[in-house]
Amino acid sequence: MNYERYLNPAIAAVPPSGIRRFFDLASTMREVISLGVGEPDFVTPYHIRNAAINSILNGETSYTANRGLPELRKEFSLYLKDRFGLDYDPAEEIVVTVGASEAIDIALRAIVSAGDEVLVPEPSYVSYSPSVVFAGGRPVGIRTLEENRFRLKAEDVRAAITPRTKALILPYPNNPTGAVMEREDLLAIAEVVRETGILVLSDEIYAELTYGGLRHTSFATLPGMWDYTLTFNCMSKAFAMTGWRVGCLCGPAQLVSVMNKIHQYAILCAPRQGQAAAVEALRAGRENGYEDVVTMRASYDRRRRLLVDGFNRMGLHCFEPLGTFYAFPSIRSTGLTSEEFCQRLLEEKHVACVPGTAFAPCGEGHIRCSYATGIDKLNIALQRMEEFIRTL
Amino acid sequence: MTELEMSLLDLLQEDCRLPLEKLAVMTGVSIEECAAAIERLEKDRVILRYAPTINWDKTGRERVEAMIEVRVMPQRDMGFDAVAKRVYHFPEVRSVYLMSGGYDLLVLVETKTLRELAMFVSEKLSPLEAVTGTATSFVLKRYKEDGVVFEETPSDRRLVVSP
């Protein structure tokens, strides 16, 4: 039976993620070294796992409040204040979500009406544009360029704004480019926000993973910007807790309460054990200076240097990524397209990367390589890539 | 200890075969600076040696290991350090630790045969004047050493490619 007539054509028309094809291909191969993984290679620290086990043994198996466990909202509030100077009231301005992914989805669904435009810097994480479409809106890409270190330029934002523009997604530190936005870069964006009154959806899930002495600046902490900003964060990247699915959506109470309405009807609450684990992660972090995060960041930083240096040596120009755990080298010198490069590298050398085009057409000429993989494997991957390039 | 030295120790403890160039890249210093730091660590005996962790069970080599709890009566001019020194000079002894709790020294011993081990305890260790008692426990199986699990476990449970 053909079910097409049942499907919403707007949703059915959204193409599947470009990453899928590489996943399918790589999954059939043995001995693949994958630089294509978008999550930490650390297992969640033991004390956090143990807290979740204890929560199960204690019989904590019921729903939580829709907005999440009160103690977790309090911990998120303290954490965001402590680390990024953000002020969010745990009672009214925070909802615990199923990862930041849900937060983005419900935020968009709450603000976007049919035909509204949402600005999405490109290349960026694969789900923003589809989520805008699912909400009935129209994603408007804003291309970021390597010559600007993939930072979002205020003039490009200004130029993209129309009377239908509702919001700007601000995904920094950025997956896939590894780009960061420093305070001055953000102040320029804030000026545009002040002039035009658009909302900013600031996805800060990689905020802890910045390097070279940089500290992440949260957009909502800029003068006057709190009122215009929704901040998304989560446990996944900084605490190596991707599978637990716990994130948070923070913003002005009036907005957050409408988003919580969707959350309440669609999700009810984030998973209980994930919340218990998150409480432990944030509480312990507050008490020990976030030592898990510090250790993991130091480890990523070494691997970041190794990978970037390796690419530059083999002639793949790579700008220095100052955030996340991705490098985004240019493969233009090889004459191949991103897709061809990744496919042949996988087939011939069993190294998996993700073509830049999976993140937007303007990602052409680049590949995303995750350095959240052991040093031994990174070294082998670099060696195989160098061999591959020599055969071209 | 500087941040560079700590970073180098972290890296070398994981893999002491990492070449100098890679160590320098990862710690963000020149090869010369990196080499100097390592030399300093070696000279100060912070780094004592570069050795692999070996699963001898897979080699078929005859080998008996035991942990011996040793009670010691420190004597005049012969404190714990001096007793430990007498003990660690025996070639059978792999490790010696001063312990809190019910005994004083923990001695890890390795010999080829059970008989040699018995000889070591009865002929070498027990006769030491300061030693007042020993309790020997044999190692039956090794599961984890220096942070390395011996059993082969899937090292990466993640999806091979993900967004």
Tokens of B35: 């080499």
Domain A4-44+292-391 has CATH 3.40.50.150: no
Tens-place pLDDT, residues A152-186: 999 999 999 999 999 999 999 999 999 999 999 99
Q: Do A26 and B161 touch (CB under 8 A)?
A: yes
Domain of B119, CATH number, reads 3.30.70.920
Q: Which of A38, A41, A298 sits opposite B162 (nearest CB)?
A: A38
Mean pLDDT of A359-376: 97
B158 contacts A41? CB cut-off 8 A: yes
Residues B94 and B26 in one domain: no
- Is A323 a residue whose pLDDT tops 90? yes
When CB atoms are compared, the residue of A17, A299, A352 closest to B163 is: A17
CB-nearest to A39 from B22, B27, B162 is B162
Kindly report, residue by residue over A31-68, the tens digit of the pLDDT.
Answer: 899 999 999 999 999 999 999 999 999 999 999 999 99
- Nearest chain A residue to B157 by CA: give it: A41
Check: pTM over 0.80? Answer yes or no: yes
Q: What residues of A are in contact with residue B159 (Cβ under 8 Å)?
A: 23, 37
Examine the domain organization and report whether B124 and B79 are in the same domain: yes
Give the domain ranges of chain A.
4-44+292-391, 46-288
Same domain as B94, residue B38: no
Q: How many independent structural domains does chain B possess?
A: 2
Considering the domain architecture, whether residues B73 and B38 belong to the same structural domain is answered as no
Kindly report the CATH number assigned to the domain that includes residue B8. 1.10.10
- Average pLDDT value for residue range B132-151: 93
At B70-100, the pLDDT tens digits run: 999 987 777 899 999 999 999 999 999 999 9
Instruction: List the domain range (segments joined by +) for residue B122.
Output: 63-139
Q: A40: distance to nearest CA of chain B, Å?
A: 9
Q: Residue A1: its pLDDT value, please?
A: 94
Whether B16 is covered by a domain: the verdict is yes
Flag whether residue B25 sits within 8 Å of chain A, measured between CB atoms.
yes
Q: How confident is the model at residue A19 (pLDDT cuts 50, 70, 90)?
A: confident
Higher pLDDT: B62 or A241? It is A241
ipTM of predicted complex: 0.85
Examine the domain organization and report whether B25 and B68 are in the same domain: no
Question: Are the C-beta atoms of residues A301 and A213 closer than 8 Å to each other?
Answer: no
**B8 CB contacts (<8 Å, ≥6 apart)?**
B23, B27, B34, B37, B38, B41
**Contact indicator for A239, A268 with CB cutoff of 8 Å:** no
Chain A residues with CB inside 8 Å of B9's CB?
A: none
A206 in contact with B, Cβ within 8 Å = no
Please check whether residues B24 and B87 belong to one and the same domain. no
Query: Closest residue of A to B19, CA-based?
Result: A379
The three state secondary structure string of chain A is CCCHHHCCHHHHCCCCCCHHHHHHHHHCCCCCEECCCCCCCCCCCHHHHHHHHHHHHCCCCCCCCCCCCHHHHHHHHHHHHHHHCCCCCCCCCEEEECHHHHHHHHHHHHHCCCCCEEEEEECCCCCHHHHHHHCCCEEEEEECCHHHCCCCCHHHHHHHCCCCEEEEEECCCCCCCCCCCCHHHHHHHHHHHHHHCCEEEEECCCCCCECCCCCCCCHHHCCCCHHHEEEEEECCCCCCCHHHCCEEEECCHHHHHHHHHHHHHHCCCCCHHHHHHHHHHHHHHHHHCCHHHHHHHHHHHHHHHHHHHHHHHCCCCCCCCCECCEECCECHHHCCCHHHHHHHHHHHHCEECEEHHHHCHHHCCEEEEECCCCHHHHHHHHHHHHHHHHHC
**Both structure tokens of A311:** 């690419």
Instruction: Say what the pLDDT of residue A57 is.
Output: 98
Task: Say what percent of chain B tops pLDDT 70.
Answer: 100
- Residue B7 in any domain: the answer is yes
Give me the total of CB pairs closer than 8 Å, taking one residue from chain A and one from chain B: 61
Residue A90, preceding peptide bond in cis (omega within 30° of 0): no
Q: Which of B7, B15, B161 is opposite residue A354, by nearest beta carbon?
A: B161
What 3-state class would DSSP assign to B98?
strand
> What would the pLDDT profile of A327-354 be if each residue is shown by its tens digit?
999 999 999 999 999 999 999 999 999 9
pLDDT level of residue A96 (50, 70, 90 thresholds): very high
Nearest CA in chain B to A243: B158
State whether A26 and B18 contact (CB < 8 Å). no
Question: Are B7 and B68 within one domain?
Answer: no
Tell me the average pLDDT of chain A: 97
Q: Domain for residue B108, yes or no?
A: yes
**Rg (chain B; Cα; Å):** 21
Chain A neighbors of B22, CB-CB under 8 A = 306, 379
Residues B88 and B130 in one domain: yes
Same domain? For B135 and B99 the reply is yes
Q: In this model, does residue B25 exceed pLDDT 80?
A: yes
Contact A180, A174 (CB under 8 A): yes
CATH number of A46-288: 3.40.640.10
